[in-house]
Copies of this chain bind each other. A is one copy, B any other.
Amino acid sequence: METAARRTRRRTPEREAEFCGTVLELLREVGYDTLTMDTVAARTRSSKATLYRQYGNKAQLVCQALRHAKPGDLEEIDTGTLRGDLHELVSRGDDCGMERDSALMQGLAMAVRANPDLRRAFKDLLIEPELRAVETMLRRAVDRGEVRADHPALAYVPHMLVGAFMARSLIEDRPPTPDFLAAYIDASVLPALGS
């Protein structure tokens, strides 16, 4: 009865969203490799049997949680200038949101090397939406004549942005923030593009 009741509760979209949110929280706290089905069961007040039945194994459960999270809607950004677009891109989240994304990346860094499904779900959530948005912004900047179409730095703007996001916690012992990235864009990314 208890198990059946829990299974029914799990099926609601609200409960599923809460469940997936809790799994991502745990990933940020302890990382993928330390995460156990026991911890997930305890924190989400589920039975381990239910988790295995619904998700198969830890990797599939984590993939599902990643796929459930919505990436930011970045394609709609269009301010009219490259500087405006890039600033808007990095100011979408607050400090906490960026710190959370950074923690999630660190928590999954090792696991995504070994597991292609996990890597796919991770990139779909945290990397690809940014890459597509940056590509659109740069194409428009070239069309407007803000950046030379053959500028060699164009191919490296994703590395400059994702890289600074990832590197800050190692270099400065604090997580990336919107303010840090906005200053970085003005000081480094736009000058690199001759813009």
Contacts and interface: CB of A to CB of B under 8 A. Distances in A.
Interface of A: 30-31, 33-34, 103, 105-107, 109-110, 113, 123, 127, 131, 152-153, 155-156, 158-160, 162-171, 184, 186-189, 191-194
A34 to B, nearest CB: 5
Contact of A184 (B159, B164, B184): B159
Residue of A106, A186, A193 with highest tally of chain B CB at under 10 A: A106
A148 to B, nearest CB: 11
Nearest to A152: B187
Contact of A34 (B33, B127, B193): B33
A30 B153 CA distance: 35
Contacts of A105: 109
Contact of A160 (B110, B113, B160): B160
A27 to B, nearest CB: 10
23 contacts: A30-B110, A31-B33, A33-B33, A33-B110, A34-B110, A105-B109, A106-B109, A107-B110, A152-B186, A153-B187, A153-B191, A156-B184, A159-B163, A159-B167, A159-B171, A160-B163, A160-B164, A162-B167, A162-B170, A162-B171, A163-B166, A166-B166, A166-B167
Given A164-B160, A192-B191, A110 B170 contact: no
A90 to B, nearest CB: 13
* 5 residue pairs, one from A and one from B, having the closest CB atoms: A163-B163, A33-B33, A31-B110, A152-B187, A192-B192
A131 B167 CA distance: 12
B31 A187 contact: no
A155 B183 CA distance: 11
A45 B45 CA distance: 42
A105 B166 CA distance: 11
